[in-house]
Amino acid sequence: MSSMSCSHPEGVRSGGPSGVLRLPRTVVVGAGQRFAVASLAAGLGRRVLICTDPRLAASEDLRSLVESLESAGLAVRVFGETQAELPVPGIVACVDGLRGEDIDVVVGFGGGSCMDMAKVVSILLTHGGRPSDYYGEFAVPGPTLPVIALPTTAGTGSEATAIAVVSDPELGMKMGISSPHIIPEIAVCDPELTYTCPPSLTAATGADTFVHLVESFTAITREPTSALASERILIGKNTLTDSFALDGIRRVGRSLVTAYKDPENAEARGDMMLAALYGGVALSNAGTAAAHAIQYPVGALTHTPHGVGVGLLLPYVVRHNFDVVRPQLATIAEALGRDVRGLDERSAAVAGVDAIDEVIAAIELPPTLEALGVREQDLPEIARLSLNSKRLVDNNPVPLDVEAVTSIVEAAFAGDRTIR
Ligand SMILES: NC(=O)c1ccc[n+]([C@@H]2O[C@H](COP(=O)([O-])OP(=O)(O)OC[C@H]3O[C@@H](n4cnc5c(N)ncnc54)[C@H](O)[C@@H]3O)[C@@H](O)[C@H]2O)c1
């Protein structure tokens, strides 16, 4: 035993790289790679369930996916009724309808809603019960049926995450299931599947990706104890996820606006698909923070897309956190193409904030909570409810209480972009 480990019996070290990385077993990226799904699925079993939504169930892409699976000798069952934002009754109806059928592999084909549907269905088919039995962290007791995630939006990164988000009408809120057991076995990221996303969807989902990347890169840093990987899903900013986050931010900076304006631009769509995957890796291991915590009550109140809400909030959140994340913001400035040579740390960090503002403005998100439909009298309730997302609040680099969140939402309501 080295003298190092004797002097640190709990396994705590300071300095040097540290991190946790939980990933799909196989990740395949590239234009046309959706046609790899058939042979990959055949390596996992013979009976395949595809979870998708009504729009995609009617698409040519779904038809050719089913055809390729059947040509590989697989039996295919399609559930095409996945609802956006994943209400629990729809998940239960899917699983109840499968009673008595044997399934070996579950494919999630679509945006985050369909990929999360595949994850939750695979939990229920394996372990029984209802989605609520698995809310929170580490509640899934063991491995599940393998999931193949095939995203059609470049946004949530669910193809790489240990997370599924459902809408629980009984609780009146969105709930998360987080477990390493639900990371897809295989992620197949084919940017051609995103060409049909209209500009508003590209903006909302691209903003979601951008916020995953920036919030993970600016999250709290925790002491690397030996219990970190077993006690937490979201461990905070760390060396391993930083590489993904930074490369993802670069790709968003050079390609989100192009994908928004020119939907069939292969290079931009490819960059955004990769950025979304990297955002998933970063968010699933490091974790997001205040913008995500605040969006949940905002989304419930205004019925606006998650990505629009988090994207709108990001400029205000980075301003609130400014003093403790200056070095990170300076690095983000460079990643977004700003020349920060010769600038002092504060000026370089301000350039980072400006560059973040520019990305959000270029995809024409509403600039304030007021423009999103929030009323001034809703702000205290939004601040109070934001604190319910404890694991996200705890992941913010600056401690958040009701006063702090109130100051963020007041600034976001009024469009106050002062850096204090
Ligand atoms: N599991 C995670 O790690 C994670 C992370 C973030 C968000 N989420 C969840 O993901 C869900 C949101 O996912 P999303 O933003 O991808 O949207 P979505 O899956 O809800 O889809 C939104 C709409 O876009 C359509 N769509 C999808 N792909 C399309 C395409 N290629 N062309 C045209 N239309 C297309 C869908 O049919 C649907 O009508 C939410 O439930 C959110 O809570 C999950």
Is 16 domain-assigned? no
Nearest CA to ligand 1 atom 33: 197
pLDDT at 4: 43
Domain contains 363: yes
**What CATH number is given to the structural domain containing 163?**
3.40.50.1970
pLDDT tens per residue, range 300-327: 999 999 999 999 999 999 999 999 999 9
C-alpha span between 38 and 78 (Å, rounded): 15
Question: Is any ligand 1 atom within 6 A of the Cβ of residue 219?
Answer: no
154 CA → ligand 1 middle, Å = 9
| Domain assignment of residue 18, yes or no | no
> Residues 112, 243: one domain?
no
Query: Residues 77, 144: one domain?
Result: yes
> Stretch 275-293: mean pLDDT, rounded?
98
Q: How many domains does the chain have?
A: 2
Judgement on whether residues 172 and 75 belong to the same structural domain of the protein:
yes
Same domain, 226 and 372: yes
- Full 3-state SS string of the chain: CCHHHHHCCCCCCCCCCCCCCCCCCEEEECCCHHHHHHHHHHCCCCEEEEECCHHHHCCHHHHHHHHHHHHCCCEEEEECCCCCCCEHHHHHHHHHHCCCCCCCEEEEEECHHHHHHHHHHHHHHHHCCCHHHHCEECCCCCCCCCEEEEECCCCCCHHHCCEEEEEECCCCEEEEEECHHHCCCEEEECHHHHCCCCHHHHHHHHHHHHHHHHHHHCCCCCCCCCCHHHHCCCCCCCHHHHHHHHHHHHHHHHHHHHHHHCCCCHHHHHHHHHHHHHHHHHHHHCCCCHHHHHHHHHHHHHCCCHHHHHHHHHHHHHHHHHHHCHHHHHHHHHHCCCCCCCCCHHHHHHHHHHHHHHHHHHCCCCCCHHHHCCCHHHHHHHHHHHCCCHHHHCCCCCCCCHHHHHHHHHHHHHCCCCCC
Residues 253, 376: one domain?
Answer: yes
Please give the single-letter amino acid code of residue 252.
V
Tokens of 371: 């423009």
Mean pLDDT of the chain: 95
Q: Is 158 in the pocket of ligand 1 (CB under 6 A)?
A: yes
Q: pLDDT band at residue 100, thresholds of 50, 70 and 90?
A: confident
* Closest atom of ligand 1 to CA, residue 284: 3
What is the residue with the minimal CA distance to atom 38 of ligand 1?
84
The answer to the question of residue 12 being in a domain is no
Domain assignment of residue 176, yes or no: yes
Between the CA of 84 and the centroid of ligand 1 the distance, in Å, is 7
In a domain, 285, yes or no: yes
Same domain? 276 vs 185: no
Residues 247 and 180 in one domain: no
Same domain, 174 and 51: yes
Over 50: is that where the pLDDT of 14 sits? yes
Our answer on whether the CB atom of 111 is closer than 6 Å to any ligand 1 atom is yes
- Helices 199-217 and 306-321: angle between axes, nearest 10 degrees: 30
252 domain residue, yes or no: yes
Q: Which of 194, 227, 244 is the last residue of a domain?
A: 194
The residue contributing the CA closest to ligand 1 atom 28 is: 152
Read off the pLDDT of residues 219-272 as tens digits, 9 standing for 90 and up: 999 988 888 889 999 999 999 999 999 999 999 999 999 999 999 999 999 999
Per-residue confidence band for 1, with pLDDT thresholds at 50, 70 and 90: very low
Mutate to test the pocket of ligand 1, among 123, 201, 211 (most ligand atoms within 8 A of CB): 201
Show the domain range for 337.
199-414
The predicted pLDDT at position 224 comes to 86
Q: Is residue 179 domain-shared with residue 224, that is, in the same domain?
A: no
Q: Which of 171, 194, 217 is the last residue of a domain?
A: 194
57 inside domain: yes
CATH of the domain at 361: 1.20.1090.10
**Cα separations in angstroms, 196 against 5, 115, 153:** 55, 18, 9
Average pLDDT on 331-355 reads 98
Give the other-Cβ count within 10 Å of 366's Cβ: 15
Question: Over the stretch 48-57, which tens digit does the pLDDT of each residue have?
Answer: 999 999 999 9
Residue 2 has pLDDT above 50, yes or no: no
- Given 194, 212, 236, the domain boundary residue is 194
Residues 127 and 256 in one domain: no
The residue-averaged pLDDT of 349-358 equals 98
The band of 12, judged by pLDDT with boundaries at 50, 70 and 90, is: low
339 and 366 in one domain? Answer: yes
Q: 204 and 182: one domain? A: no
Q: Is the beta carbon of 165 within 6 A of some atom in ligand 1?
A: yes
Tell me, in angstroms, the distance from the centre of ligand 1 to residue 223's CA: 34
Ligand 1 pocket: which of 140, 165, 178, 212 to mutate (most atoms <8 Å of CB)? 165
User: Which pLDDT band holds residue 11 (cuts at 50, 70, 90)?
Assistant: low
